[in-house]
Structure 1
Amino acid sequence: MPVDAAAALAAAPRTTEIAWDHKDVLLYHLGIGAGVPATDPRELRYTLESRLHVLPSFATVAGAGVPGVIDGLSWPGVDVDLARVLHGGQRVRVRRPLPVRGTATLTSRIVAVYDKGKAAVLVLRREAADADGPLWTDDAEIFVRGAGGWGGERGPAGRAEVPGGEPGAVVERRVREEQALLYRLSGDWNPLHADPAFAARAGFERPVLHGLCTYGSTLKAVVDTLLDGDVTRVRDCRARFAGVVYPGETLRVRMWWERHEDPAVARVALAVGVAERADAPVLTGAVDVLRDPGADALGAGSGAVR
């Protein structure tokens, strides 16, 4: 059987030391599309080391180690063809703002294996901590086509509901033709994103953009549009990948303010589509952010910062 759920779940956690500095952060930000226009002060906070802010999604590549999807395939009980693997979802929970440079201990383990019938989904959790305590928790959902059907737990539903009504904000972000080639320099060397022959074997017309690149670009759109660039307000960013993006296409990001059970937190629901393909869905999810203490109303349906 390609996936032995019991063996994967029973495997001991792995621990590794990671380190990063401003060069890694700058490369990541450029890889998700920051720096356009190059002299815009709002972009310089991502591209100039003297005023650098770190997007929380950097946690997915910090240390330039093996990306979560590839890491998950190296565990006991997992023996699958990389061409049958897709990134199904991602979540980063931030414990405190990410530093521009740092070292941390990263602890990884498989926390769930689901049987979707025609596919299996593995959830790899990675927790980072430094000398001052926890930094982030990063969950990657690894979708393996053709590896289900053993009668295991099905797990949660695969796609989030898109809110009704008009979004509070809509922004578009063009994906540059070479963006996947740049993004992969942050550590994800899967040939699906660069090699046309491998992409064809996986069933795609040409190399596709990394799901985590779309994830980071979407979070940046939320931070820039609704939070005035304040990355420290982000607490939780989760997404399910619903389709592929090809370099050269345009992401259309729709955002809705929603209430959260914690009165100190607001939720931004997300739906991302490809503008050139009639908003073909590629990502759904939500970002939880600290409320603006100066705002006394949520402003649902409004693009105003709250």
Structure 2
Amino acid sequence: MPIDLDEALGAPPATREISWTSRDVLLYHLSLGAGRDAGADPELSYTYERGLRVLPTFAMVAGQGISAGERPPTAMSMPGIDIDLRRILHAGQALTVHRPLPAAGEAVVSSRVANIWDKGKAAVIEMEQAAADSSGDPLWTTTMRIWARGEGGFGGEPGPETPWTEPDREPDHVLDSPTTPGQALLYRLNGDLNPLHADPAFARAAGFDHPILHGLASYGIVAKALVDGVLGGDVTRLTGLSVRFAGVLFPGETIRTTVWREGDRLVFRSTCPERGDAAVLTHATAEIS
């Protein structure tokens, strides 16, 4: 179905109630590689319910755990939009957390289509989401950009240009985060059951040699690297994270994150050293306290 711009942008926000427990948080942290070297460092602040601290990027999967839905989705479907999953890629993600996330909690989440850009051969769909607790106090806000191949040409605006330059100096940190061959299979238990990350035949039909790692897995892995490597392990100091997904990562490859500190902000890029530092995350910033 072609994109119906007026219907998609005019639809009222969709609201749902979510909840999560410490088990959801523990699974999320483990799926990012926490505790991988448990013999040397079990990383108990991520992997043990006593004293558990929550990476802010858990907001991206809160309320979506495996028990919330067993059937893999086949399409991105909402008012004015119905697109086969093989035609979409996660193009960008921004997150702001308004206070540290609890290890267990409930929230009301409101979602809407904020913008749809016409790129000719593709469409970029911008989704906004806001979560608040039962008292109405904000917990987090997110903006997600989806690249939908073959869905452009509907006569919309092309969207703003976003020029990007990295600091012209040596980086302050270079952080390596290895992934494992089975990491996507574990990460998908957080709720993203897109077969692109598990089924080789589906991945080939989508144009990839093998299943790829979730963009949000790379996003969370890099968030953990920044907390551990730059912020002294204090998850509460990371208050915002914005990236563009510039290339895929295959499970088993390494994410190398190059970081420049600029006041209360980190500027960074993430690449894959096994493939000649091919870009993974660009246009990337982190807000810190």
Q: Does structure 1 retain, via aligned residues, the 8 Å contact 2:54–2:101?
A: yes
Distance in 2 (CA, whole Å) between partners of 1:79 and 1:158 is 27
Corresponding residue SS for 2:63: helix
Deviations 1:188-243 (A, max 9, x none): 00000000000000000000000000000001111101111111112211110000
Aligned letter for 2:200? Answer: P
What do you get for the CA RMSD once the two structures are aligned?
1.9
Distance in 2 (CA, whole Å) between partners of 1:228 and 1:159 is 31
- Deviation of the 1:138 alpha carbon: 1.5
Gap regions ≥5 residues in structure 1: 260-265, 291-306
Aligned twin of 1:295: none
Aligned twin of 1:82: 85
- Deviation of the 1:42 alpha carbon: 7.2
Distance in 1 (CA, whole Å) between partners of 2:194 and 2:75 is 13
Q: Does structure 2 retain, via aligned residues, the 8 Å contact 1:11–1:75?
A: no
Aligned twin of 1:121: 124
Cα 1:158–1:74 change in 2 (3 A) is farther
Aligned twin of 1:238: 242
State which of 272, 297, 301 in structure 1 corresponds to 2:270: 272
- Deviation of the 1:33 alpha carbon: 1.4
Cα 1:42–1:268 change in 2 (3 A) is farther
Whether 1:104 aligns to 2:122 is no
Deviations 1:3-37 (A, max 9, x none): 11211111111111100011000000111111121
Whether 1:177 aligns to 2:156 is no
Correspondence list, 1:157-306, <5 A: 157=161, 160-259=164-263, 266-284=264-282, 285-290=284-289
Q: Does structure 2 retain, via aligned residues, the 8 Å contact 1:116–1:149?
A: yes
Cα 1:71–1:237 change in 2 (3 A) is farther
Cα 1:126–1:40 change in 2 (3 A) is farther
Deviations 1:35-61 (A, max 9, x none): 121155572211111121100000000
Cα 1:158–1:180 change in 2 (3 A) is farther
Cα 1:6–1:53 change in 2 (3 A) is same
Gap regions ≥5 residues in structure 2: none
- Deviation of the 1:159 alpha carbon: 6.8
Q: Does structure 1 retain, via aligned residues, the 8 Å contact 2:74–2:85?
A: no
* Segment drifting more, 182-191 vs 135-144: 135-144
Aligned letter for 1:31? Answer: S
Corresponding residue SS for 2:28: helix
Report percent identity of matched pairs: 51
Distance in 2 (CA, whole Å) between partners of 1:254 and 1:278 is 14
Distance in 2 (CA, whole Å) between partners of 1:14 and 1:76 is 10
Cα 1:160–1:219 change in 2 (3 A) is farther
Distance in 2 (CA, whole Å) between partners of 1:249 and 1:182 is 15
- Count of matched residue pairs: 282
Aligned letter for 1:200? Answer: R
Aligned letter for 2:105? Answer: G
Aligned letter for 1:255? Answer: V
Aligned letter for 1:142? Answer: I
Aligned twin of 2:56: 56
Aligned letter for 1:164? Answer: D
Corresponding residue SS for 1:63: coil
Distance in 2 (CA, whole Å) between partners of 1:151 and 1:42 is 53
Q: Does structure 2 retain, via aligned residues, the 8 Å contact 1:167–1:255?
A: yes
Aligned letter for 1:6? Answer: D
TM-score, normalisation: structure 2 = 0.93
State which of 133, 148, 151 in structure 1 corresponds to 2:152: 148
* Segment drifting more, 147-156 vs 159-168: 159-168
